[in-house]
Structure 1
Amino acid sequence: MAAANALLGVALREATQRKLQRFSELRGKPVAAGEFWDIVAITAADEKQELAYKQQLSEKLKKKELPLGVQYHVFVDPAGAKIGNGGSTLCALRCLEKLYGDKWNSFTILLIHSGGYSQRLPNASALGKIFTALPFAFSIFSTTPKCSGNTSCIIQSILDSGCSVATGSVVEYSRLGPNVSVGENCVVSGCSVITEAVLPADSFVCSLSLKMNGYLKYSTMAFGVQDNLKRNVKTLSDIKLLQFFGVCFLSCLNIWNLKVTEELFSGNKTCLSLWNARIFPACSSLSDSVTTSLKMLNAVRNKSPFSLNKYKLLSIEEMLIYKDVEDMITYREQIFLEITLN
């Protein structure tokens, strides 16, 4: 059985490599009939997600990262209750019929359902799972960073030679300074850490740009990779059942000097979870945002007080409402340009 599974794994890897190679040959070139889909349609959960997808598609076409001569569309699900993949498919077909009339059923169409908020992979929540980075990108180092063999994954990031990234960790779209240490099995996304910092093992740290009352702000979600953001309770008295970095959430609130009230949570007050808990500070700079969230994370690990009372606090749910897609894409583009120019 083990030998058969190993052979299957090899076959799958080889098949994937062939497909990636074939796709690479099509990128940035006009495709002939039958070489690729005539239409690629992506579904989005709401208008903000639709905008994010359209902007990223535009950037990818500009960089010639996608096949040319194909019609790319983003169709947003109707507002209100979730309609599932089946309902989303019907809505997309209706949109195609409006655009192409009776001709649409003669096209070869790739329909990609990407309307979720990715609570299991929050670093993809803001810009969408469909645009999640895969480990085929590249990074730049001032010399050679201290990475643990080949088992850490650095994707389109700029790392100083003095920083260290431990086994099993993923760093994407980030800048890490000389005195930054990333522990094992971490995910670091969209961050800028220029001061001395230690990211404990099994940390998830992801920064988002926000537009609040016309001003650019930043907020960084930080928790444990094993934390269940979807787990929820119905009453405030039950929030002790939630865990943050493996610690009782009620104990964490005491460490952060936060009171247990309904105002602690955004959205549905009978569905209380880490997803809608207002615990992440909004800051004026990206680096301050990361530093502050790491302090609250390390306060929990060290069981030392760190008051969050003086900050404007947001939930992940609210971060996605306030997200500034354009600024996040610009930040990634700046890193991309710096890498390619070097």
Structure 2
Amino acid sequence: MPAAGERSAARREATARRLARFAALRGRAARPGEFWDVVAVTAADAAQALAYRQQLAEKLSRKELPLGARYHVFVDPPGPKIGNGGSTLHVLRCLEDLYGDKWTSFIVLLIHSGGYSQRLPNASALGKIFTALPFGDPVYQMLELKLAMYIDFPSHMKPGILITCSDDIELYSTEVTETVTFDKPGFTALAHPSELTVGTTHGVFVLDASSFSGKGGLEYTSCHHFLHKPDIETMRQRGAVCVRGSCSQLSSYGDHRDSEMVSECVYTDSIFYMDHSIAKKLLIFYKQMGTLCCEIDAYGDFLQALGPGATQDYTKNTSNVTKEESQLVEVRQKLCSLLKGTTLNVIVLNNSKFYHIGTTQEYLFHFTSDSKLKFELDLLSVAFSIISDKAETLDQSASIIQSILEPGCFIGPGSVIEYSRIGPEVSVGKNSIISGSYINSKVDIPSNCFLSSLSIKIHDQVKYVSMVFSVEDNLKKTVKLLSDIRSLQFFGVSLLECLNLWGVKVSDQLFSSENTCWGLWTARIFPVCSTLSESVRMSLKMLNSVQHMSPFKLNGFKLLSVEEMLTFKDVKDMLKFRKQIYDEIYLQRRKEKFDL
């Protein structure tokens, strides 16, 4: 088996080839069978869908995407959350409504991007699939990277649906003679060798040992049954743990510090394909259900029903469910009966890596510290940005993405600056995220700071709000009683203490949520301001008051929660600010080119 360095170099070379092939397709019409017939992106609500459509239109006008494909944004139906499984079913219905029977001849890429990104809030307003990446000129976003990494698939795929999520990256290499082909009936999933600890938060395949060796770059096999977020003991008991180079069950515990250095692994999920016969079955099921009132997981609830070893046990297991609805078990059992006996084909990519970019910690690690991803994707410290010669930047581990840094500013190690203008003598500490902001006055931003600014529209007037947190704050944590809000932490300090410093009263009006689950996401604590720079300044003063335990009263300001900021967001104005930065960088690049 090649050494880890050789495998990483092979992934880098394969990735560069795919990026080059995608770049050659941008702005031109693809030949039949060369690209997707449909690229569908899901959205949680109408406001999110509008934001996605505006960004897609801008990309198409700039010729940043291949032409000829039908790009669609499909919004989940109003009412209860239906999960990415429910969204998948809804997209099938939307495709039939739009195209009639013709949709069954399409090769479709379905990207789930309907969440509110509470664990990575700089992606909340404009979507995870539009998260900027530190490479490209102009910068790539997750959408372009997804399309590039899957560029080989459409020409080796029978009509059907390929399903992926918006916050992960799959890099892989195969031998020159090997191709990833999606042409078998039923479901076909990609599988990646991973540490056992990674398997506890993903889907894990129990592979058919008789047809799988674990050798080579790519293998086609089948799955006996699929485990969804199993514990390590379950993986061992069910025969999911493999030795690299074979698929024999292991009983001893090893050292799992680096999945490419240890001999035992499990094979975890990422994207999967279903042919149109399965898609039609699921569509009929969805129509018969009428209104869906529970969250269905496309991975846990579809794939666990597949393979000869599948049982109905999982249908009653709600330990991995965020919110348990009464309809869930019934829907799972019906899906299980519908899909029972269906084959789960698996394409094992032995030389592959799966990177998740769904949290602030993952985002910072992969873009600034993870030398492996930097090498394989050729990430840059400075991507499509202007940095003054007099700027006191830059630690090499910092990441600057489509931003302008003025003289005298300093960016600490491990920090990411995106779509922002950083003024003179601004200092940003280490491991911080600054997004969509304009900081025009001398200020020291502390380490581990998360700062993201939004344009909002209230009563037809454009205003600005900046959210500020610690990158370690848990925005998903909620309490059910007002008396419990002292357990909520803002930058390591009890929210109750912070409210006292800001002069904000604890009452039912403090939170925007209609139910009784209150947290940082729904706390009305961020001041609405008339300019972008003022909103940044006010939010940083809030943070400064907490750090120094000195009062900074928010009396007189209209206060919004993050939840409300997203409700009132003005996508057009946010994209206008980004375009101003883009135009300035583009003109500077052009000037420098002609000066040479």
Instruction: Give the TM-score normalised by structure 1.
Output: 0.96
Distance in 1, matches of 2:525 and 2:503, equals: 11
Question: 1:263 corresponds to which residue?
Answer: 509
Q: Does 2:580 align with 1:334?
A: yes
Q: Does 2:409 align with 1:163?
A: yes
Question: 2:494 corresponds to which residue?
Answer: 248
Counterpart residue type for residue 510 of structure 2: L
Q: 2:399 aligns with which of 153, 167, 170?
A: 153
Which of 1 and 2 has greater Rg? 2
Question: 2:125 corresponds to which residue?
Answer: 126
Question: 1:36 corresponds to which residue?
Answer: 35
Question: 2:105 corresponds to which residue?
Answer: 106
Distance in 2, matches of 1:256 and 1:12, equals: 51
C-alpha displacement at 1:268, in angstroms? 3.0
Report the 3-state secondary structure (helix = DSSP H, G, I; strand = E; otherwise coil) of the residue aligned with 1:209: strand
- Which of structure 1's runs of 4+ aligned residues deviate more than 6 A? none
Long gaps (5+) in structure 1: none
Q: Cα deviations across residues 28-87 of structure 1 (Å, max 9, x unaligned)? A: 111112221111011111111111010000000011100011110111100010011111
**Pair 1:269–1:261, CA change in 2 (3 A):** farther
Asked if 2 retains the 8 angstrom alpha-carbon contact of 1:158 and 1:175, the reply is yes
Counterpart residue type for residue 45 of structure 1: A
Distance in 1, matches of 2:529 and 2:43, equals: 29
Equivalenced residue count is 341
1:262-301 to 2 correspondences below 5 Å:
262-301=508-547
Question: 1:213 corresponds to which residue?
Answer: 459
Counterpart residue type for residue 126 of structure 2: L
Q: 1:140 aligns with which of 380, 383, 386?
A: 386
Distance in 2, matches of 1:7 and 1:98, equals: 49
Asked if 2 retains the 8 angstrom alpha-carbon contact of 1:262 and 1:269, the reply is no
Q: 2:447 aligns with which of 192, 201, 224?
A: 201
Question: 2:59 corresponds to which residue?
Answer: 60
Q: Cα deviations across residues 244-271 of structure 1 (Å, max 9, x unaligned)? A: 0011111111111111111111013411
Report the 3-state secondary structure (helix = DSSP H, G, I; strand = E; otherwise coil) of the residue aligned with 2:457: strand
Asked if 2 retains the 8 angstrom alpha-carbon contact of 1:229 and 1:274, the reply is yes
Distance in 2, matches of 1:7 and 1:89, equals: 38
Counterpart residue type for residue 567 of structure 2: I
Q: Does 2:421 align with 1:175?
A: yes
Q: Does 2:270 align with 1:24?
A: no
Report the 3-state secondary structure (helix = DSSP H, G, I; strand = E; otherwise coil) of the residue aligned with 1:43: strand
Question: 2:558 corresponds to which residue?
Answer: 312
Q: Does 2:317 align with 1:71?
A: no
Distance in 2, matches of 1:202 and 1:232, equals: 22
Asked if 2 retains the 8 angstrom alpha-carbon contact of 1:174 and 1:191, the reply is yes
Long gaps (5+) in structure 2: 140-383, 589-596
Asked if 1 retains the 8 angstrom alpha-carbon contact of 2:395 and 2:411, the reply is no
Distance in 2, matches of 1:11 and 1:301, equals: 47
Asked if 2 retains the 8 angstrom alpha-carbon contact of 1:183 and 1:200, the reply is yes
Q: Cα deviations across residues 5-43 of structure 1 (Å, max 9, x unaligned)? A: 555444444433332222222111111122211110111
Report the 3-state secondary structure (helix = DSSP H, G, I; strand = E; otherwise coil) of the residue aligned with 2:77: coil
Q: Cα deviations across residues 80-108 of structure 1 (Å, max 9, x unaligned)? A: 10011111111111111111111111111
Report the 3-state secondary structure (helix = DSSP H, G, I; strand = E; otherwise coil) of the residue aligned with 2:528: strand
Q: Does 2:333 align with 1:87?
A: no
C-alpha displacement at 1:334, in angstroms? 0.9
The RMSD of aligned alpha carbons is: 1.5
Distance in 1, matches of 2:20 and 2:503, equals: 54
Counterpart residue type for residue 296 of structure 1: M
**Pair 1:68–1:261, CA change in 2 (3 A):** same
Report the 3-state secondary structure (helix = DSSP H, G, I; strand = E; otherwise coil) of the residue aligned with 1:332: helix
Q: 1:225 aligns with which of 460, 471, 477?
A: 471
Q: Percent identity?
A: 61
Distance in 2, matches of 1:98 and 1:288, equals: 47
Counterpart residue type for residue 74 of structure 1: V
**Pair 1:243–1:5, CA change in 2 (3 A):** farther
Counterpart residue type for residue 73 of structure 2: V
Report the 3-state secondary structure (helix = DSSP H, G, I; strand = E; otherwise coil) of the residue aligned with 2:400: strand
Asked if 2 retains the 8 angstrom alpha-carbon contact of 1:147 and 1:167, the reply is no
Counterpart residue type for residue 167 of structure 1: P
Distance in 1, matches of 2:24 and 2:509, equals: 53
Moved more, 128-137 or 219-228: 128-137
Q: Cα deviations across residues 157-180 of structure 1 (Å, max 9, x unaligned)? A: 111021111100000111111121
Q: Cα deviations across residues 240-296 of structure 1 (Å, max 9, x unaligned)? A: 111000111111111111111111110134111000000000000000000000000
Distance in 2, matches of 1:108 and 1:215, equals: 43
Distance in 2, matches of 1:5 and 1:259, equals: 56
Q: Cα deviations across residues 282-326 of structure 1 (Å, max 9, x unaligned)? A: 000000000000000111111111111221100000000000011
Counterpart residue type for residue 492 of structure 2: G
Instruction: Give the TM-score normalised by structure 2.
Output: 0.56
Report the 3-state secondary structure (helix = DSSP H, G, I; strand = E; otherwise coil) of the residue aligned with 1:259: coil
Asked if 1 retains the 8 angstrom alpha-carbon contact of 2:407 and 2:425, the reply is no
Counterpart residue type for residue 564 of structure 2: E
Moved more, 248-257 or 115-124: 248-257
Distance in 2, matches of 1:246 and 1:5, equals: 39
